[in-house]
Structure 1
Amino acid sequence: MTTTQLGLLTGLLLGIAAAFGGFGAFLLVLVLGAIGLLIGRYLDGKLDLSQFTGRDRF
C-alpha cells in the first residue's frame, strides 16, 4: 500500500466517523489513529524514543 492510498483510506475513515458519529467521534478516531501510527512506527524501528526518555543525553 502506498502512502497516497494510506492517506486516502485514513481520510475516508475520518469522514465516515464525522458523518455518522459527529465531531466527538471524529476526534476519537483521529487521536486513536495517531497513537496507532506512533506504535506502528516504533515497532518498525522508524521512531526513536530515546530522545524523549533522556537515556541518550550523556
Structure 2
Amino acid sequence: MSRATVGLLAGMALGFAAYFGGFWAFLLVAVLGAVGMVVGSILDGDLEVSDFVRSRERR
C-alpha cells in the first residue's frame, strides 16, 4: 500500500472521528481525505511542494 493510500485512509478516518453524520460530515471527510492523499503523494515523491508554490523569480 502506497503512502498516498495510507494518507487518504488516515484523512478519512480523522474525518469520521471528528464529525460523523450528514452532508457536512461527507464534505469534511472528502477534504481531509484529499489533504491526506496529497501529503502522502508528496512523501512518496510523486508530487513536489514547488508544484503548489509560485516562484518569486521573474522570467
TM-score normalised to the size of structure 1? 0.55
Larger radius of gyration: 1
Instruction: Specify the SS of the correspondent of 2:25.
Output: helix
Distance in 2 of aligned mates of 1:26 and 1:50: 30
Compare the two structures and name the one with the higher helix fraction: 1
What percent of counterpart residues are identical? 55
The 3 A distance-change label for structure 1 pair 56 and 43 is farther
RMSD of aligned residue pairs (Cα, Å): 2.9
| CA deviations over 1:2-56 (Å, ceiling 9, x no partner) | xxxx7xxx7xx7xxx6xx6010000000000000000000000000222332278
1:35 lines up with 2:38 in the alignment: no
Question: Which residue identity is paired with 1:49?
Answer: V
Gaps of 5+ in 1: none
Aligned length: 44
